A and B are shown apart, each in its own frame.
Chain A
Amino acid sequence: MTAYETQGFKLDNSGKRVVVDPVTRIEGHMRVEVNLDSNNVIRNAVSTGTMWRGLEVILKGRDPRDAWAFTERICGVCTGTHALTSVRAVEDALDIKIPENANSIRNIMQLTLQAHDHLVHFYHLHALDWVDVVSALKADPKRTSEIAQSISSWPLSSPGYFRDVQNRLKKFVESGQLGPFMNGYWGNPAYKLPPEVNLLAVTHYLEALDFQKDIVKIHTIYGGKNPHPNWLVGGVPCAINIDEVGAVGAVNMERLNLVSSIIDRTIDFIDNVYIPDLLAIAGFYKSWTYGGGLSSKSVLSYGDIPDKANDHSAGNLLLPRGAIINGDLSKVHEVDLRDPEQIQEFVAHSWFKYPDEKKGLHPWDGITEPHYELGKNAKGSKTNIEQIDESGKYSWIKSPRWRGHAMEVGPLARYIIGYVQKNPEFKEPVDKVLKDLGLPLQALFSTLGRTAARGLEASWAAHKMRYFQDKLMANLKAGDLSTANIDKWEPSSWPKETKGVGFTEAPRGALAHWVRIKDGKIDNYQCVVPTTWNGSPRDTKGQIGAFEASLMNTPLAKADQPLEILRTLHSFDPCLACSTHVMSPDGAEMTQVKVR
């Protein structure tokens, strides 16, 4: 048994151990184990990243102009965000300035991702933690219609419409082939919605599934496809031609109109379906205040969405930048990704090896060597883990720390920092939601707060898409058609040795890539991604990461049904393929690694 206190949490692993593996409705593979006390309250939480792909090893020796395509494949859910981070890192290293049009198009693509990803997360990955599908069968469709019409002007809201969905749902359930709804936790007392709201949410689950495919067409227009659109070091690959011969072969008025109409429909759907649903559901869960974890203590955001091209200083970034530590909301600290003392990664509890594991390493100087082993108190065997031993190594995720602190990143972190900075674009929507729900500011620091911040950010992103599309049009009208700067395209124009860092705010939080270039090739590449921050295992001081902290002190309605665990973990929108990748000073050696 181990019991100790860290970051204001009392950890105690003496109670009954519950294992959830696989954690589903996330990107990638993850395991979580918790200890429950006699009242089924979580007193210890252990999260394990259960996959590793080694992408940064693979990048070594490649052409830096190709790196975006490799890193984009880190994640197909937050598709494009790693590619954007990568081209920024390379442009930083080579001092390449991009045209204004390229900045606008990149921002539109990144915001498209935010809007799409948040929408799909809410309805298709997260909703079933709040919504009981089977309960919707008992709903009165007329009442559902009344509720729908009272919260939104969305036209698909007649009693007949909801009755039709309910009838199809009924036939589906009666068939006995429940597909993705099989073995769900239906009827669990932790579900609080009345049947009518469940029917509303199930209906919009299906509507959102139909609509989400249209949002990403913006990536298809500017980037050629989605998932995994194309990017370019120096700008964007799509040329613009408004009135010359051959315009039909480039981005032209018809293409720009298509983008514009999709933006309008995205704003409409998010503001009239997603946000009203979010508020309606939240209204029934106001008393479920768990899951805050580190959000009231330590949050981090790098900032993103540069208004003008090539200026990555905080004042030019539309998403907030800064760090809050020790729960002191009165001070937002400056963040410098180049400072070797600020961001460091530790591996004491990760399946990697450092020469000195007491020390952390800045990403520009990071080393990694896989080292899979279980702690001495683990149960089962190396290839059949029954129980993790968190006192030893236990995850494929490293432990990044900001000035030694474990940090939470993501939409809630961004909204907290924006709120504290009194930025009206973030403060006013938060104040309005809290007022509408009759909740104090403290309610923000919770699972529900995380979910609400994501919804608000989806709306923010959709409106900013409009801002940048208008900006793009104004620039075209002024006669600037440029989309790429090729002055330093040829490696012969590069310095012999250089390094750079690029960053974004991915849907899940702060994301940065650090690159070293030598003789025209990648010498070293390192990514520290949102789920590395949130899903980090413990460090040498025993500090827990954001996932583990968020589960602490949460009661389970039924010990054998991990509904509340899933609900809180999903509120982070975990992305395991992102978080579990490493680099090594000598990639070739790693193929020889055999763990015995």
Chain B
Amino acid sequence: MVETFYEVMRRQGITRRSFLKYCSLTAASLGLGPAFVPRIAHAMETKPRTPVLWLHGLECTCCSESFIRSAHPLAKDAVLSMISLDYDDTIMTAAGHQAEAILDEVMTKYKGNYILAVEGNPPLNQDGMSCIIGGKPFVDQLKRVAKDCKAIISWGSCASWGCVQAAKPNPTQATPVHKVITDKPIIKVPGCPPIAEVMTAVITYMLTFDRLPELDRQGRPKMFYGQRIHDKCYRRPHFDAGQFAEAWDDDGARRGYCLYKMGCKGPTTYNACSTVRWNDGVSFPIQSGHGCIGCSEDGFWDKGGFYERVTGIKQFGIEANADKIGGVAVGVVGAAVVAHAAVSAIKQSRRQQGDASEQNK
């Protein structure tokens, strides 16, 4: 179980040759010369796994449940071979002060080098005590662990936006992570929950390329949140042809026509559901007959009923915009995959900062 990254890659059928090629791509993408390739290879073969501290605030644990559904890589390999999941109260053996002691140990030993993953969010009403960990408000634990972390992953719509407990009137004042922690890089991976393979891809991307994924202006990885579900929906031709399901279980529904008139939020939702799909690619909500409810969007609970038609869709100028967005997304994916384009680290960071032109909202 304690395989290094290299061993995991080998076991997944990647040859030594491919591994070295991958190391050279990594070197190039980091702006390093070929001389660094053996060093990167050595590090991949021997380096300790990155500690991850996974905290839970107000949430429903759907993000953890989604994470363990990952098929590639298997959750088992992600947890036991790629990262070191040292704290996660949903699966860890230890409880009480033995559990709390782990936080202190990792925070000291790996100061500045551990990843903080947050599922759920801190409530600020009731003195913060509507989410209590170890007798204290969760927000205290969050701030304490965030202090010396390398980066934060905000799993799911709770950590990213607030999600259901923050829906009006938000009785506990549930607050997304980025409004509480403002001095750390935060990667938002929204969705209720996010797709399992997107979650593990974000983690493995960071480990593989040793950098944060490129984020859009809202802090989401562009590679998975750069396009609307509608843009790549397999029912899109029916939308373009004006063929719609008009009622549940009518002829249109049985023929797999577009669900726009049934309230589908695919046209306004940025996520990978229509491409990556769910649970090892088996299906996604639209394929199984229900419209998208927009669960990866900020405040989706308060944007009208799930069966109300998205209004003002025309103002999006579907075709023109979809093409434009599509072009950008291809560029982003291309940048990630074709790392030998020798993008320098400096250029990389510059691109991460200001790219309003690529914004699509």
Using a CB–CB distance below 8 Å, which chain A residues touch chain B?
Answer: 19-29, 31, 48, 50-55, 57-58, 62-63, 65-66, 69-70, 73-77, 79, 120, 124-125, 128, 133, 168-169, 171-175, 177-185, 206, 209-210, 212-213, 216-217, 219-230, 232, 234-241, 244-251, 258, 370, 372, 380, 382-386, 396, 481-484, 486, 489, 561-562, 566, 577, 584, 587-588, 590-591, 593-595
Contacts and interface: CB of A to CB of B under 8 A. Distances in A.
A74 B255 contact: no
A50 B126 CA distance: 12
A143 B331 CA distance: 56
Contacts of A50: 131-133
Contacts of A232: 248, 290
B301 interface: yes
Contacts of B137: 383
B75 interface: yes
A486 B192 CA distance: 27
Contact of B248 (A29, A235, A588): A235
Contacts of A168: 1-3
A517 to B, nearest CB: 14
Interface string B125-142: 111111111111110100
B92 A24 contact: yes
Contacts of B318: none
Given A50-B132, A76-B193, A588-B169, A183 B254 contact: no
B61 A66 contact: no
A382 B129 contact: yes
Point out which of B2, B63, B170, B288 has the most chain A C-beta atoms below 10 A from its C-beta: B288
A288 B25 CA distance: 58
Interface string B1-15: 111000000000000
Given A168-B3, A380-B135, A66 B305 contact: yes
30 contacts: A24-B93, A53-B164, A58-B167, A58-B170, A63-B305, A73-B62, A73-B163, A171-B2, A177-B49, A177-B84, A179-B49, A179-B79, A180-B85, A182-B93, A183-B98, A183-B99, A206-B76, A213-B196, A217-B282, A224-B278, A232-B290, A237-B248, A237-B290, A238-B288, A251-B288, A372-B126, A385-B136, A561-B98, A591-B170, A591-B171
Contact of A383 (B2, B3, B64, B129): B129
Per DSSP, chain B at the interface is loop
Contacts of A178: 86
Interface in B280-298: 280, 282-290, 293, 295
A79 B65 contact: yes
Contacts of B70: 213
A119 B174 CA distance: 32
Contacts, number: 355
B171 A54 contact: yes
Interface residues of B, number: 102
B282 A179 contact: no
A482 to B, nearest CB: 6
Interface string B76-115: 1001100111101111111110111110000000000000
B61 A577 contact: yes
A486 B278 contact: no
A557 B200 CA distance: 39
Contacts of B287: 224, 249
Contact of A177 (B2, B173, B282): B2
B249 interface: yes
Contacts of B196: 213
B246 to A, nearest CB: 10
Given A241-B254, A590-B171, 13 more contacts: A21-B133, A48-B132, A52-B123, A53-B174, A58-B171, A177-B2, A209-B75, A210-B76, A224-B290, A230-B290, A249-B234, A383-B129, A483-B249
B254 A240 contact: yes
A162 B125 CA distance: 51
B93 A181 contact: yes
Contacts of A246: 254-257
**Central interface residue in A53, A62, A240, by most chain B CB within 10 Å:** A53
A588 B192 CA distance: 25
Interface stretch (B30-38, B52-60, B338-346, B348-356): B52-60
B26 interface: no
Given A73-B192, A245-B255, A383 B136 contact: yes
Contacts of B48: 175, 177
B151 to A, nearest CB: 19
A251 B295 CA distance: 23
A58 B299 CA distance: 13
A190 B121 CA distance: 36
A372 B289 CA distance: 44
A162 to B, nearest CB: 14
A54 B174 CA distance: 10
B58 A53 contact: yes
A383 B288 contact: no
Interface of B: 1-3, 48-49, 51, 56, 58-66, 68-71, 74-76, 79-80, 83-86, 88-96, 98-102, 123, 125-138, 140, 163-165, 167-174, 192-193, 196, 234-235, 247-249, 253-257, 273, 278-280, 282-290, 293, 295, 301, 305-307
Contacts of A594: 125-127
B134 A225 contact: no
A239 B280 contact: no
A270 B288 CA distance: 27
Contacts of B102: 182-183
Contacts of B75: 209, 213
Contact of A180 (B93, B140, B293, B305): B93
Contacts of A241: 254-256
Nearest to A51: B131
B164 A58 contact: yes
Given A232-B290, A594-B125, A57 B169 contact: yes
Given A212-B68, A224-B286, A249 B96 contact: no
B169 A224 contact: no
A210 B279 CA distance: 12
Contacts of A76: 59-66, 193
Contact of A183 (B101, B128, B301): B101
A384 B93 contact: no
Contacts of A19: 96, 135
A72 to B, nearest CB: 9
A226 to B, nearest CB: 6
Contacts of B83: 179
A228 B192 contact: yes
Contacts of A248: 256
Identify the 8 closest CB pairs spanning chains A and B, nearest first.
A249-B256, A76-B62, A246-B255, A54-B171, A224-B285, A184-B93, A224-B288, A237-B290
